[in-house]
Every structure is written in C-alpha cells, then in structure tokens.
Amino acid sequence: MTAADRAIQRPTGAKLLVIDEAGRLSHRPRAALVDHFRPGDLVVANDAATLPASLHGIHDPTGHPIEVRLAGRRSLAADDVHTFTALVFGRGDYHTQTEHREAPPRLSAGDRLTLGPLNATIAALGCHQRLVQIDFEGTPDVVWAGLAAHGRPIQYAHLDAPLALWDVWTPVAGAPAAFEPPSAGFALDWRSIAALGDRGIVLVTITHAAGISSTGDPALDALLPLDEAYNIPSATAAAIGAARASGGRIVAIGTTVVRALEHAADSAGHVRPGPGVATQRVTGDTRLKVVDVLLSGVHEPGTSHHQLMRAFVDDDTLEMAGAQMASLGYRTHEFGDSVLVSATPHVRLDGTAGPPLKGSAYLHGSASSGVSVSI
C-alpha cells in the first residue's frame, strides 16, 4: 500500500473497508461512513487537539543540534506541563526517514537543553538512547507559550510539505493533549456529525493523549504505545452505560478511544469516568469489554494499531483485508483511507455457538470470505 503524502483530511475518493460481525469484507466510499451506523449506536470520538510537540534546539553540554519529540505526560491537567516523556534525535528533520535519523549526542541525567525560548533538563534516562524524561523550566504559562511559539507538529518523511497545526486538528478538537493526531477523527466533518443526529445516533467524546506512532528503532517501536493519559467525562460514561443497556453498539473513532475505554472499564464493562493513564496494550489476546466497532486508519502489520485490530477480528480476515486493500490502492498513514471493523462473534472450544463475546478470533470454522466492492 502507498502512504498518503498530502495533508488532506477528507480527500475526494477516500476509501472505506468494512468488516462486519461475520467477518465479511466490503469496500465503500468513505463518504458513506454514516450509512454503516445504526440508530441506537453510540459513537465515541477523541476530542484531543494535537500539540506542536516537535521542538528543535541544542544539547547544551555538547552544542549539538537536536530534535525533541514530546511523547507522553502524567496527566491532562492544564498546569501539569513540566514533565514529559520524550524522544531525542540528532541533527536533521522530518525529511529524513525516522529510522535513518542521526542518534542524539550521548545524553545524561542533568543535561540541559535549549529548545527555542524553552529551557529543559533531562531528568531521567529511559531504556533506549533516544527515550528520556525531561523537565521544562518556568510557569505553565511560560511552557504553553514556548510550545506555541516554537513547536511544530510531529511529522514523518511521507509528507513533504510542512504541517500546520490546523492540518492535524480533527473537527471535534478541543483541549491540547495529543502528541500526534487522533487521525481516525479526520473522517468526520460537521455534515456527517449532523447526519448522525438525524439518524438517532449519539456522538460523545473523550480526551486521550494520542502518542507517537514511530520511534525509528524496532526495539523501541515494540514498546508502543507508551503510557497515555486520558479523561472520560461523566456524561460520556453515562451514555456508554445507557447504550449498552439498550442494546446499542459502542463505536470507537480511533484506537485511542478503544485503549481509554477498555482501560477505564471494570470486568463487567462499566466505564469509570474521570482521569486515568492507559498502560495496557490491546492485542489479539485482549477480551474487549466495551467497544463493539472500531473506525481506524489503514495500518501495516507489526504496528501497535494493527495489533489492536486483532482484538476485533481474526488474523486470517486481517490478512485477507490487507491483500484486498493493497490491490485496490488503499493509502496508509494519518491522511489515508479507513477501516470500519466490527468485533466478530465468539465460538466456544467445544464448537458450540456461544454468546457474542467481543474480541475473540474464531476457534472452529472461519468467517465468510464474501466480498463486495463499491468505490
């Protein structure tokens, strides 16, 4: 598949792969997304606005140029902007593929960094030479102002033109919290949001600090996603409970929503409102407790996003989906095409049909391979 190389959130001709509860695949224009929702569904989107989280500057002890990419923070509180998890790269910028970026100079705890108008100190080293904890100096207002004045959106080499902040904000963006855009939300616009309401489908939001998608190092990429702070409003938690009680589906707009809701849920699927930090990884071994349907981008095997989709559908279906998307020219990355996947039913080990427990692959038999295309 080819990476989307232009920062257009809703390009003409965007594609949508639909994987239904039976594992059947169909291809539709993404403009028809709302047609695949049902009255009574609850659609949950991530309203995090994307921070200008790429900061170029100097490693003071050596004088070497560096790029710091902010990657995590302890909470979403507006005044909690001093301590961040971050990745540090050496000389260069997004025009060089991440895996080919220069390593940073040798880093030590206590090293000072000059990042435009901001000053920071390396508070601790992580498990990799690029991964650190940094502390910014100054008041919260100073830090926010410095990020706004000097930071740029995190960007990768598949996009040649520099990103502006409005390129990476979804239509429902609110509080600045994400380090990279919760890009599944790019598929929404005010027309489709209005259409949801017209069809009796409720849209609610959470805020989740969507993290970085690539570090440039396979061993470090294997740790993704890093811990991510979130907040679930009481009204959203109540709406989820009401929808589940009435038999409606919970539709997550993006993998970040899945991660937050599943982390906040107890064993019975009741979602706790309020702040939290998602520390778990959602994979094919995860039994989903809350989310029934996921809208996501097109992700390559091996990525954490693709691993999360394995909680919804079996590997054979995902492999078939990947082959079809490649043959039909689907585009990957944040400005690419989309996948709408419903959790497949569970089949007990003895082969008898069981209740539709979300997130389990078929253990006997296989999903239908029926395919329809309308693009």
Residue 259 main-chain phi, psi, to 5 deg: -65, -45
Residues 36 and 91 grouped into a single domain = no
Per-residue pLDDT of the chain (375 residues; tens, 9 = 90+): 677 878 778 888 999 999 999 999 999 999 999 999 999 999 999 999 999 999 999 999 999 999 999 999 999 999 999 999 999 999 999 999 999 999 999 999 999 999 999 999 999 999 988 999 999 999 999 999 999 999 999 999 988 899 999 999 999 999 999 999 999 999 999 999 999 999 999 999 999 999 999 998 998 998 899 999 999 999 999 999 999 999 999 999 999 999 999 999 999 999 999 999 999 999 999 999 999 999 999 988 888 889 999 999 999 999 999 999 999 999 998 899 999 999 987 422 223 233 333 333 222 223 333 334 443
* Gap between the Cα atoms of 115 and 88, Å rounded: 12
Residues 260 and 330 grouped into a single domain = yes
| In 180-233, alpha helices (H) | 190-198, 218-221
pTM, whole model, 2 decimals? 0.90
Residues 57 and 22 grouped into a single domain = no
Tokens of 213: 């998608």
Q: For the domain that residue 184 is a member of, what is the CATH number?
A: 3.40.1780.10
The residue out of 111, 128, 150 marking a domain boundary is 150
For residue 372, give the 3-state DSSP assignment: strand
Residues 273 and 174 grouped into a single domain = yes
For the chain, the domain total comes to 2
